[in-house]
Amino acid sequence: MATKKLLIVESPAKAGTIKKYLGKDYTVLASMGHIIDLPKSQMGVDIDNDFTPKYITIRGKGPLLSQLKKEAKKADKVYLATDPDREGEAISWHLAQALNIDPESECRVTFNEITKTAVKNAIKHPRKIDMDLVDAQQARRVLDRIVGYTISPILWEKVKRGLSAGRVQSVATKLICDREDEIENFTPQEYWSIETVLTDPKSKKDFAAKYYGENGKEVTLNNAAETKKVSDDLSGTDFVVQKVKRGQQKRNPQPPFTTSTLQQDASRKYNFQAAKTMQIAQMLYEGINLGGKIGTIGLITYMRTDSLRIADDAQKEAVEYLTNEYGSEYVNPKQYKTKKSAQDAHEAIRPTSINIKPIDIKDKLTNDQYKLYKLIWERFAASQMASAVYDTMQVTIDANGHTFKASGSNVKFKGYMTVYVEATDDKEKKTKMLPPLEENNHLKLKSSEEKQHFTQPPARYSDATLIRELEENGIGRPSTYAPTISTIVSRGYVVRSKRQLVPTELGFVTSEIMKNNFSDIVDVEFTAGMEDELDSVEEGSTDWKKVLNEFYPPFRDNLEKAQKNIEKIKIKDEESDIVCDKCGRKMVYKLSKFGKFLACPGYPECKNTMAIREETGAKCPKCGGEILVKKSRRGKVYYGCEHSPKCDFMIWDMPVKDEKCPQCGGLLLKKQGKRGKIYCYNEDCKYERKSGEKE
C-alpha span between 257 and 255 (Å, rounded): 6
Decide: 287 and 16 in contact? Cβ < 8 Å: yes
- N-terminal to C-terminal alpha carbon distance within the chain: 74
Residue ranges of E strands in 285-385: 288-289, 296-297
User: What amino acid is encoded at 584 in this protein?
Assistant: G
C-alpha span between 576 and 54 (Å, rounded): 46
C-alpha span between 244 and 437 (Å, rounded): 7
Tell me whether residue 373 is one of the annotated catalytic residues.
no
Decide: 565 and 605 in contact? Cβ < 8 Å: no
DSSP secondary structure letters along 467-515: HHHHHHTT-S-TTTHHHHHHHHHHTTSEEEETTEEEE-HHHHHHHHHHH
Decide: 628 and 582 in contact? Cβ < 8 Å: no
C-alpha span between 582 and 607 (Å, rounded): 9
C-alpha span between 282 and 263 (Å, rounded): 13
If DSSP states are collapsed to H, E and C, what string results for 615-683? EEEEECCCCCCEEEEEECCCCCEEEEECCCCCCCCEECCEEEEEEECCCCCCEEEECCCCCCCEEECCC
Decide: 408 and 393 in contact? Cβ < 8 Å: yes
Establish whether the linkage from the previous residue to 153 is cis, with ω within 30° of 0.
no
Strand pairing class (5-9; 26-30): parallel
Max CA distance (Å), the chain: 100
Read off the DSSP letter of residue 346: S
C-alpha span between 369 and 279 (Å, rounded): 10
Read off the DSSP letter of residue 462: -
Q: C-alpha angle 147/152/153, rounded to 5°?
A: 120
Strand pairing class (217-218; 205-214): antiparallel
- Give Cα separations from 160 to 152, 309, 507, 510, 576 (angstroms): 10, 46, 12, 10, 20
C-alpha span between 358 and 363 (Å, rounded): 10
Three-class secondary structure of residue 228 per DSSP? helix
Closest CA to 171 of 477, 547, 528: 528
DSSP secondary structure letters along 529-568: HHHHHHHHHHTTSS-HHHHHHHHHHHHHHHHHHHHHHPPP
Closest CA to 420 of 324, 317, 364, 350: 350
Q: Where are the alpha helices (DSSP H) in 271-366?
A: 274-286, 312-326
Q: Out of 302, 373, 420, 493, which one is annotated catalytic? A: 302
Decide: 318 and 384 in contact? Cβ < 8 Å: yes
User: What amino acid is encoded at 44 in this protein?
Assistant: G
Beta-carbon contacts of 278 under 8 Å, excluding residues fewer than 6 positions away, are 259, 263, 303, 482
Decide: 114 and 20 in contact? Cβ < 8 Å: no
Decide: 690 and 677 in contact? Cβ < 8 Å: yes
Catalytic residue list: 302
